[in-house]
Chains A and B, each alone.
Chain A
Amino acid sequence: MRVLYLFLTAALLASCQPESRPAAAVVVKDGLGRSLTLPAHPRRVLALAPSMTEMLYAVADTATIVARVPQDNYPAAVLRKPVVNNYPLDLEKLVLLRPDVVFTVEGITSVDDAQRLQELGIPVYYLRFRKVEDVFAGIEELGRLLGRQRQATQLADSLRRKLAALVATTPKSAAPPSVLAITWQDPIYCYGQNTLFTDEIRLAGGQNAVTETFPQPYPALTREYILKLNPDVLLGGSFGKLDSTFFRNYPELRRIKACRNRRVYPITGNLMERPGPRVVESVRELQKLLRQPYVPAN
């Protein structure tokens, strides 16, 4: 036991030593096309979005992850890290944590916030995801930046194989079911065409019911618009739950095919919203939901 204490103390002391910043630096372009200078081997990293934290846990040396944001809950080990607020951004705490680089996803951290962090000497690296393949490419990119290429490539390749195996079981259909995924009931917001969901649901054997592209990724919809879409499947809550809330408030929407055929399903919170290493899980879940048996109503 004493030996253990001794070891811990030594480790603690070692971690307290002022770390010499790696001298070598590289200039890279992030997902938004911004140029930044990063240390060649970042030793202190953190992510401002839960999906990025999941990615860091899959790729980086977990000891280099210095903090988490309040929404982070996966993997469970992340809960032991100190919390830093991302909304509003806790600049002081971020400076105190001295990260070599901060990772985030387009749309989660404002470019203004990123600029301020940059001025405080903390580079912010954005990733953006339009396709599931972008997530795999993001994992490899992260591996390159953190000097963990081998792990990252292995992970990305294994995810690609899993996804390919999954997609291979999807029967080719001339008319894949149209799926509307709502994120909020009042006003009704949904996953738009320019979100990762569009690619995920395509891989799962369906198609995003919202085919029009709006400027905002999660557009607000009117009831009339949803009636016109007439989706085959509605995601956003179990039939029982939506029956007593959503369809009760908007009784006109009971006419959509999804409601008449009871193809209304909940999705695991945090799975579809997070473009991280669990993206294949998300596709698997969507595929499972699309395969649920149902009795077509007349």
Chain B
Amino acid sequence: MPDRRPALWLFLGLLLTLGLVVLGLRVGSYSTSYSFIFNTFRHYDPTDPAQLVLVELRLPRIVLALLAGASLAVSGYLLQTLVTNPLADPYLLGTASGASLGAIASFVLVPSLTVAGVYLPPIAALVGAFGATLLVVALGTRRGRILPAPLLLAGVAVGALAAAVGSLLTFLASAEGNLRSIVFWAFGSFEQAGWRVLPYPAAALAISLFVLAFLQKDLNLLLLGEERAAALGLPVAQRRWLLVLLAAGLTGGVVALCGPVGFVGLLIPHLTRGLLGTTGRYNLLVCAVLGGGFLLACDLLARVLYPPAGLPVGLVTALFGVPFFVYLLRKNS
């Protein structure tokens, strides 16, 4: 029986996240005490390398992990609702494979990775992500209506195609360095985080959560199936478009910045529903908080387990997420 106290879980989630943020600020090559962290935020002195590291490297990394976790979890929740299938994840729309293809293409075709001073891989990944999503949505649409079953199949087909083209490019790439970049990218990482890129995923998440705050009831109606939802007065076609748009926006930006981090978008929506029930009012908010906390914890673990660069975060989400997921499944059934 799910616990229906969303405020409690929200509070616990936020508390846990705050603890992880403080812990995350401490872990790294420079040893930094709590008092040092406190002093840094009171009087920031960028000429001190340890303070610079704290503010310019560790903090943006933490914020990116939180944003990515929250965005992927919410996106997974939306898509699971849209196709009424618990196996759906944020990459259902072909976002991950499209982004991977874009990134691989930039690694292989532009060895310098920089064109006119612009660092290419994230931009190529973003283009790939939205290209693939557009294709999937186009294939999953009949006369302006998004149909869940064709959408699912289109996602699988486009994903497979993009993966095949990506593999072909990888195979043809002879330089060993390229292969390293591709492998590294495929597992996902927050190492590239910096303040200048964070506003985009932050804005996408804030806008989505704001819009969705008015839509939680509609999401619950969608779960009833198209006919019953329509009979209850829900503009089903319109709502589906909105969900796809939000999910694509949330996922695309995140994948472009940190690579296709897996599992968080599948696991956290399940965890949320397990805690708060399928139709809870604050499900999306709790989902975002738990997703952010989970990914932050995974990144922290990755950095502690394998210094200095850390394990790829996607590996950690799978290694620690899967057993937990199986436990949830067994418990719920």
Contact = CB atoms under 8 A, between A and B. Distances in A.
Contacts of B192: 186
Most B Cβ at <10 Å: residue of A219, A220, A224 = A224
A248 B114 contact: yes
Given A230-B49, A245-B112, A252-B56, A224 B180 contact: no
A166 interface: no
Contacts of A70: 174
A221 interface: yes
A229 B150 CA distance: 54
Contacts of A225: 29, 308-309
Interface in B30-74: 30, 49, 52-53, 56-58
A92 B59 CA distance: 53
Contact of A252 (B30, B52, B191): B52
Contact of A185 (B28, B49, B113): B113
B117 A184 contact: no
Contact of B114 (A220, A221, A227, A249): A249
B310 interface: yes
A227 B46 CA distance: 13
Interface string B10-35: 00000000000000000011100000
A228 B49 contact: yes
Interface string A220-247: 1111110110100000000000001100
A91 B189 CA distance: 36
Interface string A67-98: 00010000000000000000000000000000
A contacts with B: majority SS: mixed
A214 B308 CA distance: 9
Given A185-B113, A221-B308, A249 B119 contact: yes
A237 to B, nearest CB: 10
A230 B29 CA distance: 12
Contacts of B180: 184, 187, 189
Interface in B99-131: 112-114, 117, 119, 121
B30 A224 contact: yes
Contacts of B114: 244-245, 248-249
B interface residue count range (under 10 / 10 to 19 / 20 to 34 / 35 or more) = 20 to 34
Nearest to A252: B56
B29 A222 contact: yes
Nearest to B310: A222
A228 B119 contact: no
Given A220-B184, A227-B49, A252-B52, A186 B113 contact: yes
Contacts of A255: 49, 52
A221 B49 contact: no
A221 to B, nearest CB: 6
Contact of B53 (A185, A219, A227): A227
A271 B113 CA distance: 24
B309 A221 contact: yes
Contact of A187 (B29, B174, B189): B189
Interface in A174-220: 183-187, 189, 214, 219-220
A220 B114 CA distance: 20
Interface string B165-203: 000000000100100110010000101100000000000
Interface string B141-173: 000000000000000000000000000000000
Interface in A248-272: 248-249, 252, 255
B308 A219 contact: yes
B57 A186 contact: no
A248 B56 contact: no
B182 to A, nearest CB: 11
Contacts of A252: 52-53, 56-57
Nearest to B116: A244
B219 to A, nearest CB: 39
Contacts of A244: 114, 117
Given A220-B309, A222-B28, 10 more contacts: A187-B309, A189-B177, A214-B308, A219-B309, A222-B308, A225-B29, A225-B308, A228-B29, A228-B53, A248-B114
27 contacts: A70-B174, A184-B180, A184-B181, A185-B113, A186-B113, A186-B192, A187-B191, A187-B309, A214-B308, A219-B308, A221-B308, A222-B29, A222-B191, A222-B309, A223-B191, A224-B28, A224-B53, A224-B58, A227-B49, A228-B29, A228-B30, A228-B53, A244-B114, A245-B113, A245-B114, A252-B57, A255-B52
Interface of B: 28-30, 49, 52-53, 56-58, 112-114, 117, 119, 121, 174, 177, 180-181, 184, 189, 191-192, 308-310
